[in-house]
Amino acid sequence: MSAGNGTAGMPAVSADDVNVEFGTARGLAALLAERRIRVLEDVSFAIQPGEILGLGGESGSGKSTVAGVLCGLVGVSAGQVRVGGQDVTHFSHREWRGVRTEIQLIFQDPFESLNPQFTVFASVAEPLVSLGLCAKDELVPRVIDALDKAELRPPSAYLNRRPTSLSGGERQRVAIARALVVNPSVLVADEPVSMLDPTTAVEITSLLRRLADDLGVAILLISHDLKLLGGVCDRVGIMYLGRLVETGSASDVLRHAKHPYTKLLVSAVPNVDPRLRRPRVVLKGALPSPAHRPSGCPFHPRCPIADGGGCATTVPELTGQAHRCACHRAGEIPDAERSYQ
Amino acid sequence: MTAPTPLDQALPATSGTDEPPDLRPPSSWKLVWRDRRARAGAVVILLFALVALLAPLIAPYHPLERLVGPDGDLLRLQPPSLEHPFGTSNYGRDLFSQAIWGTRRTLQVGVIAAVVAVVIGTNIGLIAGFAGGWVEQVLMRLNDAALALPFVPLAIVLIGTLGRSDVVLIIAIALVFWRIPARVVRAEVLVLKELGFVRAATCGGATRRRILYRQIAPNILPYAFLYGMLLTAEAVIAEATLSFLGFAPRDALSLGTIMFDAFSSQQIRQAWWWPLFPGLMIMAFVVAVSLLSEAYERLLSLEGVDR
């Protein structure tokens, strides 16, 4: 897992200072009172071909919004999104159709991401037909090829089955095959295994790893499960309240976390060994609503090392070279790491 | 889902273990067929359909033939007998034959009107639910207007201005009855369009029309079908109502016009059989449809839980 940070060349997908705002008021109320909440704030990252970037963080930290932004399902209010070097930030539904072969999305819930009325063949062939990518007689071989890449074997046995007769893991593989059928250079996997049991989850994530290694697909893997991210990702980013607070190689971020939030997340990862009991550091409180974003560092109300000064007034920027961290005090308290382990 | 019905009990058995993996679960029609009431309804509907289709073969007399008895007298107002199961009219016409021919026209108008209403209603519901924004507002306010339309006065005005014909009758029925499927379909689309497979289709590069008609519409179809059944019953009643009020085309013969004739002949007090049998037939048809559609509806709600 060495590919990544330093390599030159054009990233397969990149986001630069992306901001996303949602209006909370609708209709007349929206005209009367401007109430907008910021869901993503200055999110930047780039993924090289063959690289897996993991995105972690609590529920509500904006991870799924990132997935929506990359696939054009969520509007961007500021910043730039590039797919294969092309600026897609303000593409319309029609314009996006030209980029769909580049980037594909895998959804969290395999039970609703497949149309219950469609056979596996129809589901997987749908993007080819929608985009008019191949002739009718090529459909079956392309679908079989995609199912094979998604490791549904033998592929021909699945063609006429319906989602109701498939297990969760099989459904997720069908969803992966549907994403792969257009030969995309980027896959966005939004919590692809959170609904699956652990052994199936490992199979799916190692499948993603092989896709990155063998086919050179760039993958954004979104998960709240840090263990899983550590297992398959080249680089990991941790999000808090719509901001990236720490990024770096998977081992840097997860083993030598700098940001207090990352440290707390790491310490909350359950351990199966009953003899290994760590002092439990509990993250106080819940993620604040983006509608009531704290001033200064968004994490400071819950942060164990926040001081009364800068933390509450100025937003920390991501600093550092390969391992970047957005915290005023991460450097100041070198032994902070001790207290969490 | 309180008391288990035959339909409910039938469902767990569908996930039997000895099935080969490739076998599809039993179709919804098979499941509906296991419900005794639905089966009765289906048989009655089938019977009506056969009568309507085979009317020329079944009817023992021409419906407008004036029958003469062996003594040379007109067979006026004969009560039901083996020879004339539904009796005869004051012109000596066989009411059984009239009812058979009447069934044909009643079903024709009812089914066509229901299909037109459901097609219009489903499409408006699909577009309104999926498009949102001002399109939805306009279509749904139109729907509110349709909900406020009183059926009989509207039909009388339309027939008065456009003339008596089956087409006008069908237009009047469709104009009023599209409102309910449109509402239901829109509500269903609002749920469906947030599901993953719709977003997946967007990512798959489908145009909006393709998403609506290929991804969403097939999931709506069972509901459209259900409303098709219910509206057929309603349209049959509507047709009978208008015919009974005398708004059918002059030479038309339907279950409703038989009752209209009975009423306008002023023989209704003596000839109880005259309006009774067509009335009972309309009732039987409506009850059969509601039995079948109720079982189908129960199946849909169960499938909804699965999904």
Q: Give me the sheet containing A36-47, strands edge to edge.
A: A36-47, A13-23, A78-83, A86-87
Chain A residues whose CB is inside 8 A of the B201 CB are: 115, 126, 130
Three-state SS for A281? Answer: coil
Measure B301 CA to nearest chain A CA, in Å: 15
Answer whether residue A176 is part of any domain: no
* pLDDT over threshold 80, residue B19: no
Residue A97 has pLDDT above 50, yes or no: yes
For the cut 70, the answer to whether the pLDDT of residue A333 exceeds it is no
Contact A182 B204 (CB under 8 A): yes
pLDDT category at B88 given cuts 50, 70, 90 is: confident
Please indicate, yes or no, if residue A163 is contained in any of the structural domains. no
- Is B22 at the interface with chain A, CB within 8 A? yes
Containing A198, the helix (H) or strand (E) segment is helix A198-215
The alpha-carbon gap from B123 to the nearest alpha carbon of chain A, in Å, equals: 19
Q: Shortest Cα distance from B19 to chain A (angstroms)?
A: 11
Looking at the 3D structure of chain A, how many domains does it have? 1
Residue A294 lies in a domain: yes
Per-residue confidence (pLDDT) for residue A3, from 0 to 100: 40
Distance in angstroms between the alpha carbons of the first and the last residue of chain B:
17
Task: HSE, CB side, 13 Å, CA atoms: give it for residue B285.
Answer: 29
Q: Is the predicted pLDDT of residue B36 greater than 80, yes or no? A: yes
Candidate from B25, B210, B218 with C-beta closest to A130: B210
**Distance in angstroms (rounded) separating the CA atoms of residues A311 and B196:** 39
Instruction: Check residue A335 and give its pLDDT.
Output: 46
Percent of chain B, pLDDT > 90? 48
Summary mean pLDDT of chain B: 85
Nearest to B124 by CA among B167, B172, B187: B187
Q: Give the pLDDT confidence of A56-86 residue by residue, as tens digits.
A: 988 888 888 999 999 988 888 889 999 988 8
Task: Say what the pLDDT of residue B64 is.
Answer: 86
Q: What domains appear along chain B, each with residue ranges and CATH number?
A: 31-60+84-306 (1.10.3720.10)
Q: Tell me what pLDDT residue B4 has.
A: 45
Indicate the range of A2-6, A70-74, A320-324, B260-264 predicted with least confidence: A2-6
Q: What CATH number did the domain enclosing A232 receive?
A: 3.40.50.300
Q: Is B307 on the interface with A (CB under 8 A)?
A: yes
pLDDT at B16 > cutoff 70 = no
Instruction: Reply yes or no on whether the pLDDT at A135 is more than 70.
Output: yes
Pull the structure tokens for residue A249.
């190689």
Give A282's contacts (C-beta < 8 A, 6+ positions apart): A268
CA dist., res. A133 & res. A138, Å (int): 10
**Is the CB of A73 less than 8 angstroms away from the CB of B202?**
yes
Q: How far is A126 from chain B (nearest CA, A)?
A: 7
- Cβ–Cβ under 8 Å, residues B212 and A127: no
* H or E element, residue A220: strand A218-222
pLDDT of A334 reads: 54
Alpha carbon separation from B167 to A262, A286, B101, B112, B155 (Å, rounded): 72, 64, 19, 10, 12
At B134, is the pLDDT very low, low, confident or very high (cuts 50, 70, 90)? very high
Q: How confident is the model at residue B305 (pLDDT cuts 50, 70, 90)?
A: very low
Beta-carbon count within 10 A of A117 CB: 18
Q: Look up the pTM and report it.
A: 0.80
**pLDDT of the residue at A34:** 64
- Residues B75-101, mean pLDDT to the nearest whole number: 88
B170 Cβ neighbours under 8 A, 6+ residues apart: B109, B112, B113, B116
Query: Tens of pLDDT along A211-259?
Result: 999 999 999 999 988 888 988 999 999 999 989 999 999 988 888 888 8
Would you state the structure tokens that stand for residue B112, as one six-digit string? 């066509």
- B218 close to A (CB below 8 A): yes
Q: Which of A152-161, B4-13, B59-68, B204-213 has the lowest mean pLDDT?
A: B4-13
Nearest CA in chain B to A98: B205
> Does A71 contact B203 at a Cβ distance shorter than 8 Å?
yes
Beta-strand relationship, A218-222 and A52-56: parallel
Q: Is residue A189, in this structure, part of any structural domain at all?
A: yes
Give the whole-angstrom CA distance, residue B215 versus residue B129: 14
**Position A124 in a domain:** no
Q: What angle do CA B26, B30, B31 make, to 5 degrees?
A: 85
Q: CA of A104 to nearest chain B CA: how many angstroms apart?
A: 6
Nearest to A161 among B22, B195, B214 (CB): B22
Instruction: Mark yes or no for CB contact B202/A126 under 8 Å.
Output: no
Cα B133 to Cα A129, A165, B5, B128, B139: the distances in Å are: 29, 37, 42, 9, 10
Contact B205 A101 (CB under 8 A): yes
Strand, helix or coil for residue A50: coil
Whether A145 has a pLDDT exceeding 50, the answer reads yes
Identify the contact set of chain A against chain B, taking CB-CB distances under 8 A: 71-73, 93-94, 96-97, 100-101, 103-105, 107-109, 112-118, 123, 126-127, 130-131, 157, 160-162, 164-165, 175, 178-179, 182
Pairing of strands A36-47, A13-23: antiparallel
Asked if residue A119 is part of any domain, the answer here is no
Residue A20 phi, psi (nearest 5): -130, 130
Segment B219-245, tens digit of pLDDT: 999 889 999 999 999 999 999 999 988
Q: Specify if A110 maps to a domain.
A: no
Q: Which of A97, A130, A139 should be substituted to probe chain B, the one whose Cβ sees the most B Cβ atoms within 10 Å?
A: A130
- Tell me what percent of the residues of chain A surpass a pLDDT of 90: 35
Burial of B133 (0-12, 13-18, 19+ CB in 10 A): exposed
Q: Where are the alpha helices (DSSP H) in B89-216?
A: 95-131, 133-148, 151-162, 166-177, 179-192, 196-203, 208-210
pLDDT of A286 above 90: no
What range does the domain containing A293 cover? 13-102+184-340
| Domain-located, residue A126 | no
Cα B97-B100-B104 angle, rounded to 5 deg: 140
**What pLDDT digit, counting tens, does each position of B281-293 carry?**
999 999 999 999 9
- The answer to whether residues B176 and B154 touch, using CB atoms and an 8 Å cutoff, is yes
Q: Assess contact for A211 and A218: CB atoms under 8 A.
A: no
Per-residue confidence band for B5, with pLDDT thresholds at 50, 70 and 90: very low
